Every structure is written in structure tokens, then in C-alpha cells.
Chain A
Amino acid sequence: MPDRAQGSTILMVDDDEDDRFLVKAALTRSGVQHQLVCVESGEAMIDYLLRRRRFADPKSAPCPGIILLDLNMPGMDGEHCLRELRAHEDFKHIPVVILTTSAAETDVKRCYQLGANSYVVKPLLMDTMVAALERICEYWFGLVELVPCD
């Protein structure tokens, strides 16, 4: 799908280096071909999307097809990011998949209320993590239509 190449990037927002590494490892082990770009904070996500500061070069910040968003982060947390995304004219259409350790009912409810597209609890085992990522990508990049990047 060359016409969608740019929109096939996955943007992962997570302050935890281990998690960023593990998701990358899981993606590598899966059959998923999509590019994974990771940022370590909500602030970095905004910079990335607005292509400023260290993401000033458009090549370093390909337009994301979906965003994997962690909730529990120092500074701008997941909910804050979600609010910013949904309030911004240019980014409100980007599907957001919450990927977090919290299975708390209140967190799930609030995230959907704030406009999250799905909510996934980080799987305990590598195998299940691989399977989860495969299904997420299959759904968002295979089954449903996304708004093409400019």
C-alpha cells in the first residue's frame, strides 16, 4: 500500500523505556510491517505532531496513522494528551489506542468519554503482546479506512 505509506506509521507515546523497547520487540516479532516511532512524553507528542523543535524536519516525524498512548506519564499525562488531540483541528481525526497497565473501570470510562478509539491493557506476556499488536494493526490499517495524510 504505497499510497498510504506515510499514514501507516504508528506513533507510540510512553515514558517507560522498557515498554517502548518491548513494544518495538513485539512488533519486530510480529508480521506487522508498519513503522513504529516512539516519543517519551506528551509534550514530545505535541512537538512531533506540530513538527517543531527536534521534529522540525518532516522526515523525522512521519504523519501517524494511529497513536498508541500511555496514561500514566509525568508532566502531560495520557488524558491531557487526549484532550489536546481532540481539541486540535488537525489531529482530532487520528485514532488513539490507549495502551496502559491500568484496568481500572474509571480510567476506561474516562478515556472513551474523552474520545479514545480503543482501550487495551498492556498484555502480561510477550506472546500476547505480539498478538495484540497484530490485531490492532490488522484492524486500523487493514480493515477500517483512515483519513489520508496531507
Chain B
Amino acid sequence: MASAAENPAPMEAKEPWVAVGFLTLVIALIALGTIAVSNLRRLNGATNRLYLHPFQVSNAALNIRLALSESRLSMLALVHHDEPQHEAALREAIQDLPRHVAHSARIIERHFLGDRALVAQNKAALADWTRFQRAVLKLLEHDPQQARIRVLSEGTSRYEKLAAIQDEIIAFARRKARALLHEADRIRASSEAQLSLAFVITVAFAVVTSALVFFRTRRATSALARSGLQLAQANTELLRSNESLRRFAYVASHDLREPLRKILNFGQLLATEKSEQLDEEGAHYAQRMQDAAQRLDELIVNLLSYSRVGSQSEQQVAVNLDRLLIETTDDLALMLEESGAELHWADLPDVVGAPTQLKQLFQNLISNAVKFRKADTAPKIEITWRRDRERCVISVSDNGIGFEAQYAEKIFGVFQRLHSRDLYPGTGIGLAICQKIVEIHGGTISAHATLDGARFEFDLPLASEARNA
């Protein structure tokens, strides 16, 4: 009643989805982690640009604007000769302007994100302003009036142009900062969303996978428990059927043979006590009845011995087959002598088995070989063996009447006979018993028709010393 589907195979073979689930989880986590990290990097870059570059650029522009304004005021003061006591300082302030704005100009050049033309324009205007200042300072040496006029006329427009460029740069930098702030907000929001998603997916995967593992394990465990129960039931069933077989053996030996014994006895009484009342035909019938009843008894006895093979738990021990064969041939000495049989065997190995059963196995095979001998030929029996991994394959061949190849399997059936009872007596249980004994020892037996007789081959487990030899 246990279907194959219910038998739990080993977990790892049966549950590939567990591995697939974990693999998917890991891949998903790596992907989400990568996205989140790249977002954080982007956020970091944006933050740099947001807080450093536009800020620096706007600062630099403001700086230039202040320096410019200061330099212009210094120039105005100088040309109007308002503060003659500071003349040297004012000159120096004016001459130092390029040095003051150089750093800021570099920052703008490097980090300004807007129109590069504006940067170029700024650079050119700064250079122009510097040149203009130098020209004014030179002019001041010999024509202060002319210098004053140039500062007032050309200076203001130059200064305003340069200041306007700085204002433009500052405005752009501020706009840019606002945009970047917006972008950073967006990236942060999306990173947060991705991280939250990663977290939710991880938790969901963990929950689902754990739940699946839990339920599948529970199912597997309960299936295992179920099959364990079924095994126990089957075992009980087997013990029960073994017991009923033993019971059958007992019943067969008692109750079946009881009436049979009476048939035989009363038949005999009929044939002897009442012989004068029976005519020849009647006596013949009585005799045939007796014969049949005796045969039935023989069948019951053989069936019993067949069913008993292996039912008594005989210890499996190391058995020296040479010694076992000597004992067997001793038991069969009379039969072998009367038939003039020749029995040869090679040095046989030690095997593991039940000695009584193995003895019966050889006894049955040897007496079969003697029984089914050719009418005018003395039986010749040869026992050889070869090794097949942990087992030894023993072959018993004879020069007897053999059998037709088509009966090679049928020959092992219970009560299976290939010849008439008149020619060869017996019930046909011998080879069935042999097969049962070999099967109890985990082997198989086969019959082969040979050119001059029959060969039986069976395998037995080698004893450990023989295995290592």
C-alpha cells in the first residue's frame, strides 16, 4: 500500500528547490546591494559637487568680485591722490590683484559647471583688467590727469563688465547647487526605496524559504515516520506470516497426515483382512489407493521440509567447504558406492553460511547427479569453483541424462518433475530446496544443459579470510 511517491528519498536529491531558493535569494541580495552601493556613490558624488564645487566656485567668484572692488577703490584713491600717505600701499594692492585672484580664478576654471565660454570670458576680462591697471599705473607717472580720466571713463565699464561676469558665475553656481540638492534628494529617496525593497525582499525570502524548509522538512519527517510505521507493520505482517507458515507446517505434519495415515491403515486392512472378499480388480484398486496415499504423505513431508528450510534461524558461520563435502560424501557413501560414482572436487574455499543448509544443498545436488545417471554409465561428478568479487561461484557438473535447455528454470519449481516417477522416484522438491538455500545465502542458482550431462552453478559469500586471500 506504500506508493513510491510517499517514500522520502534523501533530502538533497529530492529538494532542489531549497538550493534554487537560496541561490535566488543570494543573487537578489547581491543585485540590490550593488544598486544601493552605486546609488550611495552617486549620492556621494552629488554631495561633493553640491557642497564643494558650486560652493567653491561661488566663493571664488565672490572673492574675485571683492578683490576687484577693493582694487578699483585703491585705484580711484590713487588717481585722485586722496591719501598720499598710503600711495605705496595702494600701488602694492593694485599690483597684487592678479596674485589675489589667481587661486579663485583656477577654482572657477576647474569646477565651474556652466558655460565654458563664460570662464574664458572671465579669464580674458581679468587679464584685460590687469593690463588696464598696469597701463593706468604707468600713465600716472607722467600724466596723472590723463590717468584719472582713463580710470573714470574706461575703468567703470571694465569693472562693471567683470563684476557682471562674477555675478553670473555666482548665480549659475547657486542655481546649480539648488539643482544638485534636488537631485540628491531624489537619489536619496530612490536609494532609500531600494534599500527598503531589498530589506522587504530579504525578509520575505527568508520567511518564505524558512516556511518552505519547515513544512517540507515536516512533511519529509512525517513521511519518514509514516514509512517507518509501514515498515514496522510490514515487519509485523512478515512475522505473522512466518508464524502462520510455522503453524501451517505443524498443521500439515499433524492434521493432514492424520487422516492419511488412516486411509493407509484401513486400506491395508481392506487389502489383507478382507482380501477374500475382494476380486483381483478390487485388490488392484486398493493397492493403487495405497500407493497414492503413500505418495501424498511423501509430498506432505517434502513440502514440510521445504517450508522448514530457513525457518529455523541457523547461525551463519564460516564454513570449510572441503570438510563439509567430506561429511556429505560420508552420508551418501552407500549411494555413491552402489552406483559406482566418481566424485572430484578442487580445493574449495571457506564460505559464510548455515552449515546444515549448505550440507543439504550439496547432498541434494550430488544425489540428483547420481539419481539421474545414464543407465550404462557410472556417474562422474565434478565440483569446481571460481571467484567473483566477494563471492565464490561453485559449479557441480555430471555426466548424467541432463535435461532439455528449455527446462533450465522450470527445474527449480516445487514438485517440478521432468521424468516419470516410475523411472526416477521422488517428489521433485530437491532442487526447489537447493534454490531456497542459495537464495537465503543471497545468491542465485542456475541449471545448464551440457554436452554430456548437466551443470548446476550457484554462488555463496566468501568467508573474510578467503576474501582477503
Compute how far the CA of A19 lies from the CA of B261 in the bound complex, rounded to whole angstroms. Answer: 10
Query: Given A125-B265, A126-B269, A101–B250 Cβ distance below 8 Å?
Result: no
Stretch at the interface among B12-20, B146-154, B177-185, B251-259: B251-259
Query: Given A104-B250, A124-B297, A129–B257 Cβ distance below 8 Å?
Result: no
Q: Is the CB of A122 within 8 A of B268?
A: no
Across the interface, which residues of B come within 8 angstroms of A16, CB to CB?
A: 258
Picked from B261, B269, B273, B297, the residue with its CB within 8 Å of the CB of A122 is B261
Q: Is the CB of A22 within 8 A of B265?
A: yes
Query: Given A125-B268, A126-B268, A18–B254 Cβ distance below 8 Å?
Result: no
Q: Is A50 an interface residue (CB 8 A)?
A: no
- Which A residues from 127 to 144 make CB contacts under 8 A with B? 127, 129
Closest to A16 in B: B258
Across the interface, which residues of A come within 8 angstroms of B261, CB to CB?
A: 101, 122, 124
Picked from A25, A72, A101, A103, the residue with its CB within 8 Å of the CB of B269 is A25
Across the interface, which residues of B come within 8 angstroms of A104, CB to CB?
A: 250, 253
Compute how far the CA of A142 lies from the CA of B268 in the bound complex, rounded to whole angstroms. Answer: 29
Quick one: which of A72, A103, A124, A127 has the most chain B CB within 10 A? A124
Across the interface, which residues of A come within 8 angstroms of B264, CB to CB?
A: 124-126
Q: Is the CB of B265 within 8 A of A126?
A: yes
Q: Is B410 an interface residue (CB 8 A)?
A: no
Across the interface, which residues of B come within 8 angstroms of A103, CB to CB?
A: 253
Query: Residue-by-residue, is B253-279 near A (CB-CB < 8 Å gives 1, otherwise 0)?
Result: 110011011101110110011000000
What DSSP secondary structure best describes chain A's contact surface?
A: loop
Across the interface, which residues of A come within 8 angstroms of B265, CB to CB?
A: 22, 125-126, 129
Compute how far the CA of A19 lies from the CA of B257 in the bound complex, rounded to whole angstroms. Answer: 13
Picked from A25, A101, A125, A127, the residue with its CB within 8 Å of the CB of B258 is A101
Interface range for B: 10 to 19
Compute how far the CA of A102 lies from the CA of B257 in the bound complex, rounded to whole angstroms. Answer: 10
Interface range for A: 10 to 19
Query: Residue-by-residue, is B293-333 near A (CB-CB < 8 Å gives 1, otherwise 0)?
Result: 01001000000000000000000000000000000000000
Q: Is the CB of A102 within 8 A of B253?
A: yes
Closest to A22 in B: B265
Compute how far the CA of A122 lies from the CA of B260 in the bound complex, rounded to whole angstroms. Answer: 12
Compute how far the CA of A101 lies from the CA of B254 in the bound complex, rounded to whole angstroms. Answer: 6
Compute how far the CA of A104 lies from the CA of B297 in the bound complex, rounded to whole angstroms. Answer: 17
Compute how far the CA of A16 lies from the CA of B262 in the bound complex, rounded to whole angstroms. Answer: 11
Compute how far the CA of A83 lies from the CA of B250 in the bound complex, rounded to whole angstroms. Answer: 23
Across the interface, which residues of B come within 8 angstroms of A129, CB to CB?
A: 265
- Give the distance to chain A from B364, nearest Cβ to Cβ, in Å: 21
Q: Is the CB of B269 within 8 A of A102?
A: no
- Give the distance to chain A from B375, nearest Cβ to Cβ, in Å: 31
Compute how far the CA of A104 lies from the CA of B247 in the bound complex, rounded to whole angstroms. Answer: 12
Across the interface, which residues of B come within 8 angstroms of A18, CB to CB?
A: 262, 266
Across the interface, which residues of B come within 8 angstroms of A126, CB to CB?
A: 264-265, 268-269, 272
Closest to B249 in A: A104
Across the interface, which residues of A come within 8 angstroms of B272, CB to CB?
A: 126
Q: Is the CB of B268 within 8 A of A127?
A: yes
- Which A residues from 9 to 28 make CB contacts under 8 A with B? 16, 18-19, 22, 25
Compute how far the CA of A122 lies from the CA of B266 in the bound complex, rounded to whole angstroms. Answer: 14
Across the interface, which residues of A come within 8 angstroms of B268, CB to CB?
A: 125-127
- Give the distance to chain B from A78, nearest Cβ to Cβ, in Å: 13
Compute how far the CA of A16 lies from the CA of B265 in the bound complex, rounded to whole angstroms. Answer: 14
- Give the distance to chain B from A104, nearest Cβ to Cβ, in Å: 7
Compute how far the CA of A101 lies from the CA of B260 in the bound complex, rounded to whole angstroms. Answer: 11
- Which A residues from 93 to 133 make CB contacts under 8 A with B? 101-104, 122, 124-127, 129
Across the interface, which residues of B come within 8 angstroms of A22, CB to CB?
A: 262, 265-266, 269
Across the interface, which residues of B come within 8 angstroms of A125, CB to CB?
A: 264-265, 268
- Give the distance to chain B from A20, nearest Cβ to Cβ, in Å: 12
> Could you pull out 29 A-B pairs where Cβ atoms are within 8 angstroms?
A16-B258, A18-B262, A18-B266, A19-B262, A22-B262, A22-B265, A22-B266, A25-B273, A72-B254, A101-B254, A101-B257, A101-B258, A101-B261, A102-B253, A102-B254, A104-B250, A122-B261, A124-B257, A124-B260, A124-B261, A124-B264, A124-B294, A125-B268, A126-B264, A126-B265, A126-B268, A126-B269, A126-B272, A127-B268
Beyond A22-B266, A124-B261, 12 extra complex contacts between A and B, CB < 8 Å:
A18-B262, A19-B262, A25-B269, A25-B273, A101-B254, A101-B257, A104-B253, A122-B261, A124-B264, A126-B264, A126-B265, A126-B268
